[in-house]
């Protein structure tokens, strides 16, 4: 399993991650980001890499 | 509200307001519409999709009510929401995020050094024109895979298209002409790239997405247009504003000289105090309650970023430059679904400029007589910045 990490001091809830992996990241009704799954299957490493690459504030990392 | 008579976010003296709520009100109504002054409410409005960017309305107020420029704006990334917005966002984001930008650092350094090599440092230089204004278009050329010799043209097109933001309707013909030039330039550039074969650059990536059917041909052009218009002018002013801020605080400058790892924090703090985009203007698409005030559908809502960035409720001693602030998240690049996609790149570029100055010209100073920095139309801008590199 891969650990998904969000630096909430950097996160500005722009939602790019939620668009790319909606089952892992979600923008809540109050506009803030919620990490739905802190662990994902190894097979999804490529998807997560794309999310990390696309985050405009560099707030996402993995184990 | 009586306060509106003495507070207008676009007034030349608006900066005299220290920041945050005005007479305990974090949101005010006036002839301009609504102004959001507090950090928390500002963030809430910027994250709220019920508020739409006012750029299209601004264009219409300039008399641009139809035609290719109006149509471009209507379908551009800043105006659309939902699935189309996300489809447009990720291709741009992946080339400008902090993670990607790590690989662009060496190029940024080369560009800064190339410009510096042209400088005559024996006398004070006008930093904004000779350095800050020249860098972003060169960065664009690298990113878009365009020849570096196109940089002056890119700079000029970006400056003229975005002159819309100066809110001066007499500029309408200039703006329309600049967009015509922009469309023609991109047509030509895309044609050249197809002939030469697509590369690893951002424009090639967009063209490939079009070929794969992931973006329509119109979306490819819209993306490329957005990227070019936004490439230069704001970054140039912001870079000069940061340099101006840091050079004038000698204690901070000395700390940066002795420990360059502090530069990223110093850049963020300068961005907080002097945001180029001091006001982000939105329109309510339905009635929305904000901080106890119901904003009616269609109303103009101006988020005063410069005021939010100095809100004492959010930032302790907000007027002070503090290198050690924790959780320093100014709203300079906005926030939420329409945050600035180029912010990772802009920050990296500014860090490289500051890093270069700190290393090569640790004694550089601002020559106050010959420097004009101010606020107009809700934006901080650098008219001239005279820097003595070797005093």
Which residues from chain A sit within 8 angstroms of residue B100, using beta carbons?
Answer: 53
The model's pLDDT over A11-60, given as tens digits with 9 standing for 90+, comes to 999 999 999 999 999 999 888 999 999 999 999 999 999 999 999 999 99
Q: What is the pLDDT of residue B124?
A: 97
Assess if residue A63 is contained within a domain.
no
User: How far does A41 lie from chain B, in Å, by closest CA?
Assistant: 22
Tokens of B300: 């103009």
Which DSSP state fits B15? G
Which residues in chain A are contacts of B214 at CB distance < 8 A? Answer: none
Set of chain A residues whose Cβ sits within 8 Å of the Cβ of B338? 14
Q: What are the beta bridge partners of residue B277?
A: B379
Question: Based on the structure, what is the number of domains in chain A?
Answer: 1
Q: Give CA–CA dist A4/A24, Å, rounded.
A: 9
Q: B336 to chain A: nearest residue by CA?
A: A14
CATH number at residue A26: 3.30.70.20
B386-388/B125-126 β-pairing: antiparallel
Q: Quickly count: other Cβ atoms within 10 Å of residue B184's Cβ.
A: 11
Contact at CB, A53 and B100, closer than 8 angstroms: yes
How many C-alpha atoms does B65 have within 13 Å on its Cβ side?
2
Structure tokens at A30: 């109050």
Range of the domain at A30: 2-57
Sketch the domain layout of chain B as residue ranges.
2-319+329-388
Q: Out of A9, A31, A56, whose CB is closest to B344?
A: A56
Edge-to-edge strand ranges of the sheet holding B51-53: B27-30, B33-36, B300-304, B279-284, B51-53
Answer whether B94 touches A (CB < 8 Å). yes
User: What is the signed CA dihedral for A14, B100, B138, B270, rounded to 10 degrees?
Assistant: 60
User: B97 CB near a chain A CB, below 8 Å?
Assistant: yes
Per-10-residue mean pLDDT for chain B, 391 residues long?
A: 58 83 91 94 95 94 94 95 87 89 93 94 96 96 95 95 86 95 96 95 96 93 94 95 98 97 98 95 97 96 96 97 95 95 95 97 97 88 96 94
Q: Does B337 touch chain A (CB under 8 A)?
A: yes
Q: What is the pLDDT of residue B6?
A: 56
Q: Which fold has domain B2-319+329-388?
A: Cytochrome p450 (1.10.630)
Taking CB atoms and an 8 Å limit, are A53 and B99 in contact across chains?
A: yes
- Residue among A13, A20, A58 whose CB faces B99 most closely: A58
B252 Cβ under 8 Å from any chain A Cβ: no
Q: Where are the alpha helices (DSSP H) in B170-293?
A: 172-196, 202-211, 217-229, 233-248, 250-258, 263-273
Give the Cα separation of B88 and B223 in Å (integer): 7
Chain A residues in contact with B90 (beta carbon < 8 A): 16, 19-20, 54
Residues in A closer than 8 angstroms to B329, CB to CB, are: 9-10, 12
Integer Cα distance of B9 and B21 in angstroms: 13
8 Å CB contact of B98 and A57: yes
Point out the residue among A14, A54, A58 whose CB comes nearest to the CB of B339: A14
Look at A12 and B339 and tell me if their CB atoms are within 8 Å.
yes
On whether the CB atoms of residues B248 and B321 are closer than 8 A, the answer is no
Q: How far is CA B124 from CA B112, B118, B238, B371, in A?
A: 18, 14, 20, 11
List of E strands, B324-377: 365-366, 372-376
The ipTM of this complex is: 0.88
Chain B residue with minimal CA distance to A9?
B327
Q: What pLDDT was estimated at residue B23?
A: 86
Residues of A in contact with B47 (CB under 8 A): 13, 31-32
> Does B340 sit within 8 Å of A13, measured CB to CB?
no
Looking at the DSSP bridge assignments, the partners of residue B28 are B35
* CB within 8 Å: B327 and A9: yes
Query: For residue B5, what pLDDT is reported?
Result: 47
22-61 in chain A: CB under 8 A from chain B? 27, 31-32, 50, 52-58
Distance CA A53, CA B4 (A): 44
- Residues B220 and B87: their CA atoms lie apart, in Å, by 11
Q: What is the token pair recorded at B371?
A: 């420097």
Which residue of chain A is at minimal alpha-carbon distance from B341?
A: A56
Q: Are strands A60-62 and A25-27 parallel, antiparallel or unpaired?
A: unpaired
* CA B264 to chain CA mean position, Å: 17
Tokens encoding B384:
């001239």
The answer to the question of residue A37 being in a domain is yes
Tell me which residue has tokens 């998240």.
Answer: B329
A-B CB pairs within 8 A amount to 66
Strand (E) or helix (H) holding B153 = helix B151-161
Which residues of chain B neighbour A58 with C-beta distances below 8 Å? 97-99, 344
B336 lies within 8 A of chain A by CB:
yes
Q: A54 and B94: CB-CB below 8 Å?
A: yes
Burial class of residue A56, CB neighbours in 10 A (0-12, 13-18, 19+): buried
Distance CA B262, CA B192 (A): 42
């Amino acid at each position: 399993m891969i650990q998904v990490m969000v630096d909430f001091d950097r996160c500005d809830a722009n939602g790019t991650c939620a668009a790319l992996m909606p089952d892992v990241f979600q923008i809540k009704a109050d506009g803030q980001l919620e990490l739905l799954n802190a662990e994902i299957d190894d097979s999804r490493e490529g998807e997560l890499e794309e999310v990390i690459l696309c985050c405009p504030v560099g707030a996402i990392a993995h184990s | 509200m009586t306060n509106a008579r003495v507070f207008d976010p676009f007034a030349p003296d608006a900066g005299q307001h220290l920041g945050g709520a005005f007479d305990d009100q974090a949101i005010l109504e006036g002839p301009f519409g609504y102004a959001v002054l507090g950090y928390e409410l500002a963030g809430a409005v910027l994250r709220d999709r019920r508020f739409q960017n006012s750029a299209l309305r601004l264009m219409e107020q300039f008399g641009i009510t139809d035609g290719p420029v109006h149509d471009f704006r209507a379908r551009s990334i800043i105006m659309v929401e939902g699935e189309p917005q996300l489809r447009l966002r990720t291709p741009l984001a992946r080339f400008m995020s902090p993670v990607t930008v790590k690989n662009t650092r060496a190029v940024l350094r080369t560009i800064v050094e190339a410009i510096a090599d042209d400088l005559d440092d024996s006398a004070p230089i006008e930093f904004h024109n000779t350095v800050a204004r020249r860098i972003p278009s060169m960065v664009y050329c690298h990113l878009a895979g365009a020849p570096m010799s196109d940089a002056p043209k890119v700079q000029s097109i970006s400056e003229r298209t975005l002159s819309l933001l100066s809110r001066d309707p007499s500029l309408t013909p200039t703006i329309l002409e600049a967009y015509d030039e922009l469309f023609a330039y991109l047509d030509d550039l895309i044609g050249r790239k197809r002939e030469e074969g697509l590369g690893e650059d951002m424009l090639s990536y967009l063209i490939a997405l079009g070929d794969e059917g992931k973006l329509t041909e119109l979306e490819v052009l819209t993306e490329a247009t957005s990227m070019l218009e936004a490439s230069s002018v704001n970054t140039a002013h912001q870079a000069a504003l940061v340099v101006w801020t840091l050079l004038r605080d000698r204690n901070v400058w000395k700390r940066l000289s002795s420990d360059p790892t502090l530069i990223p924090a110093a850049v963020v703090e300068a961005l907080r105090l002097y945001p180029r985009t001091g006001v982000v203007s939105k329109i309510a698409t339905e009635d929305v309650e904000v901080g106890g005030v119901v904003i009616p559908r269609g109303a103009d809502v101006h988020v005063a970023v410069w005021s939010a960035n100095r809100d004492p409720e959010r930032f302790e001693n907000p007027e002070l430059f503090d290198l050690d602030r924790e959780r320093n998240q100014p709203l300079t690049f906005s926030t939420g679904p329409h945050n600035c996609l180029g912010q990772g790149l802009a920050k990296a570029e500014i860090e490289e400029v500051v890093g270069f100055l700190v290393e090569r010209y640790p004694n550089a100073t601002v020559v106050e007589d010959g420097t004009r920095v101010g606020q107009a139309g809700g934006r901080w801008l650098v008219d001239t910045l005279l820097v003595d590199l070797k005093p």
